[in-house]
Amino acid sequence: MDKKHFKIMPILNKETTAIWTAWTHMGNREVSREAVAKGTHVALAIQFLAIRNEISQIDAETWFKNEVLMWVKELLSRKQIHRSKHILTNAGIEPMDELHNIFLKTDSKESRKYIGDHLLDLKQMDEHTKNLWNFLEIIHSNRSSITNYSDCNSVEELHNKSPEWCSKVATVLFLIVYVTLNMILLLYRNIGCLRRIYRSSTSLDIGWSPTVAEHIGSMVEFLCL
């Protein structure tokens, strides 16, 4: 073993000796997850991992934290946010700060909504972040129309975009909404005409099959709602 990685065995009592011995029969992931799930002997688990893997204390702490965060993301994907917060607390990581960080970085729409809704419920999201999230969802809803500006997959990425980029996207989205609204208004103004045409046609023998007439009737009535 390299001297720089040489570790002195910690002083163990009867309880910690039993725990240490049990860990020798587990994998690194099992050790870290057991320790952080119980919330006891976390520091001892990091020492154990450092000695077993012949790495420095700092490297062991980094590995342990990364393993915890990986587990937290797995739990969040299974909608277990309260257990995730419990795990983060046991690991010495401020849960709300870390959830906010995951919310900003995730490229998963489902995870973003799940975590974001939780932060909103607890009033843990500022107005700027909320606006960025809404803007990102609008961009994603119109990807096909703004392909040149759709390379943004997280709130953090959107936050890092230049003001010029955001202005261009906002302008394109405004034009899309403007054109869509005008089309809807035009259609609405012609609904009365559509209804009269349909009702007149049903009183005439123009050769429509009952099925076709029914579909057209349903469509016209839907537009007239």
pLDDT digits (tens, 9 = 90+) for 107-117: 999 999 999 99
Q: Which helix (H) or strand (E) holds 86?
A: helix 81-90
CA distance 155 to 162: 13
Mean pLDDT of the chain: 82
pLDDT value of position 216: 42
pLDDT value of position 175: 77
Nearest of 225, 220, 187 to residue 201 by alpha carbon = 220
Query: Rounded to two decimals, what is the model's pTM?
Result: 0.74
pLDDT value of position 215: 45
CA distance 179 to 147: 18
Sign of CA dihedral 10, 15, 17, 23: negative
pLDDT value of position 71: 97
Residues of the chain with pLDDT under 70: 1-7, 149-150, 177-225
pLDDT value of position 170: 83
CA distance 43 to 176: 56
pLDDT value of position 208: 40
Nearest of 59, 61, 38, 52 to residue 10 by alpha carbon = 52
pLDDT digits (tens, 9 = 90+) for 6-43: 567 788 889 999 999 999 999 999 999 999 999 989 99
